[in-house]
Amino acid sequence: MKRLFIIISVLMLVVMIISPTFAQGRDDSMDDVRERLVRLESKVDGLQKQIELLQKQIDDLKASTQKQIDDLKASTQKQIDDLRGLLLWGFGILFGGMGLLIGFVIWDRRTAVAPVARRTMELEEREERIELALRILAKKDPKIEEALKEAGLL
C-alpha cells in the first residue's frame, strides 16, 4: 500500500508540475485561436460584402434583362400592329379596286350593249321596210315575185 501511495503521490506531483506548463501553452494557443477567429471574422465580413455586391449586380442584371425583354415585347407588338394595319389597308384597297372594276365592267357592258341593241333594232326595222317594199314590187313585177318565192320570203 505504501508503494501505491508513493506512485499516486509521484503522479500527482508530475501532474501539478505539468499542468501550469499546459495552462500557459493553452493561453498562447487561445490567443492564437482568438487571432485566427478575428481574422476569420474579418474574412467572413469581406466575403459577406462581396456576396452582397454580387447579389446587387445580379439584381441589376435581372432588372436590365427584364427591361430589355419588355422593350423587345413592345417593339415586336408594335411591328405586329403595323403589319396588321398594312394588311388591312392593302386588303381594303384590293377589294375596293375589285369592286370598282366590277362596277366598271357592268357599266361598260351596258354602255357597249346599248348602241348594239339600238343598231340591231334599226337594222330589223330597215329589213322589215325592205321586205315590205319588195313585196309591193313583187305584186307589180313577176320576176321579183319569183325571186322572193325562191328565197322563201313570200
Q: Which of 75, 51, 55, 53 is nearest to 63 (CA)?
A: 55
Residues, the chain: 154
Q: How far apart are CA 148 and CA 146, in angstroms?
A: 6
Identify the burial level of 154 via C-beta atoms within 10 angstroms of its C-beta, where 0-12 means exposed, 13-18 middle and 19 or more buried. middle
Q: How far apart are CA 22 and CA 31, in angstroms?
A: 14
The model carries a pTM of 0.45
Residue-level pLDDT, tens digit, the chain, 154 residues: 777 778 887 777 777 776 655 555 555 688 888 889 999 999 999 999 999 999 999 999 999 999 999 999 999 999 999 999 999 999 999 999 999 999 999 998 888 888 888 999 999 999 999 888 888 888 888 888 888 888 887 7
